[in-house]
């Protein structure tokens, strides 16, 4: 599931392959952008911003969001793609590499000096060099909605998704419905920051510290299974800012009070 750590790895991979190169093929397969062509421009960098990926090419920024299904692949020139062509939404190639974005939920191209129009609303990003824990804690701690919802609001803090929200709250012993104003927001975000920074370099995320299949999660996806700390069956439900944005939540009724 793409969250901030997934986007961070994708940006790092694309930046290493494309930055400094000259675009030899540029193809955006969405109607509103199909006529745009940056062939001949230089790829300056590819950077993450929360769950958003920004490829700076010439004086333009190509913005993409993976949502649930999107992914970027990297190929050698002429190499066969590992996904069907009809799923490709963006192709950026240089002499040495070809990057293909499949099933991208959002795609935009704007002048780089207007990049903030796309991502300026985001809160502090724990994987950014400009990470501001105090500001993120202020935003989350001022949110009177359920803490699970407050953590997922990218305006409060950028990069955490549903898996992280569930695991962070378990480790801190906080019920997901507790109002953000009643929670030690700084403590929650400190845990989340340690988790996401540790996982950004791993092939498989682990929150328990055990890197074995079926043992990497404390509560996420473990409904009715025994809590790893106390043995109480894990409960599940759903929470969201509105009915269209509800997410599955998991918690231990004994450890998270």
In order of their start, the domains of the chain are: 4-120 (3.20.190.10), 133-251 (1.10.8.50)
* Average pLDDT over all residues of the chain: 96
pTM: 0.92
Show the tokens assigned to 139.
């935003």
Residue 74: both structure tokens together: 């990297």
Do residues 61 and 54 lie in contact, with contact meaning Cβ atoms separated by under 8 Å? yes
pLDDT for residue 214: 92
Q: Given this model, what pLDDT does residue 200 score?
A: 93
Q: Is 119 helix (H, G, I), strand (E, B) or coil?
A: helix
Using CA atoms, how far apart are residues 252 and 257, in angstroms rounded to an integer?
8
Instruction: Give the count of alpha carbons within 13 A of 6, CB side only.
Output: 20
Please tell me the predicted confidence (pLDDT) of residue 76: 96
Question: Quick check: helix, strand or coil at residue 124?
Answer: coil
Specify the pLDDT at position 1.
61
Q: What's residue 244's pLDDT?
A: 79
Give the residue among 90, 83, 18 at the shortest CA–CA distance from 56. Answer: 18
Question: Of 65, 85, 64, which is closest to residue 75 (Cα–Cα)?
Answer: 85
- The per-residue pLDDT for 92 is 98
**Residue 241: per-residue pLDDT:** 83
- How far is residue 150's CA from residue 141's CA, in Å, rounded to a whole number? 8
CA distance 43 to 50: 21
Read off the pLDDT of residues 155-201 as tens digits, 9 standing for 90 and up: 999 999 999 999 999 999 999 999 999 999 999 999 999 999 999 99
Residues in the chain with pLDDT values less than 70: 1
- The pLDDT value given to residue 21: 98
Which residues belong to the active site?
Answer: 2-3, 51, 247
């Amino acid at each position: 599931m793409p969250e901030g750590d997934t986007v961070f790895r994708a940006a790092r991979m694309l930046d290493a392959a494309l930055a400094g190169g000259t675009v030899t093929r540029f193809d955006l397969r969405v109607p509103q952008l199909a006529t745009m062509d940056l062939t001949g421009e230089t790829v300056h960098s590819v950077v993450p911003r929360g769950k958003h990926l920004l490829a700076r090419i010439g004086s333009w920024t190509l913005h993409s969001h993976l949502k649930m299904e999107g992914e970027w692949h990297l190929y050698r020139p002429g190499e066969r793609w590992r996904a069907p062509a009809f799923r490709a939404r963006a192709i950026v190639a240089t002499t040495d590499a070809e990057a293909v974005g499949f099933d991208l939920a959002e795609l935009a191209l704007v002048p780089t000096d207007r990049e903030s129009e796309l991502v300026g609303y985001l809160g502090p990003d724990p994987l950014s060099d400009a990470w501001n824990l105090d500001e993120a804690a202020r935003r989350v701690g001022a949110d009177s909605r359920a803490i699970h919802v407050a953590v997922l609001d990218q305006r409060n803090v950028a990069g955490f998704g549903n898996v992280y929200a569930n695991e962070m709250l378990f480790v801190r012993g906080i019920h997901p419905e507790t109002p953000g104003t009643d929670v030690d927001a700084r403590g929650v975000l400190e845990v989340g920051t340690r988790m996401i920074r540790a996982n950004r370099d791993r092939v498989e995320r682990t929150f328990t510290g055990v890197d074995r299949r079926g043992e990497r999660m404390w509560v996420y996806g473990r409904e009715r299974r025994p809590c790893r700390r106390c043995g109480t069956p894990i409960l599940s439900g759903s929470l969201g800012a509105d009915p269209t944005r509800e997410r599955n939540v998991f918690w231990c009724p004994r450890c998270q009070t």
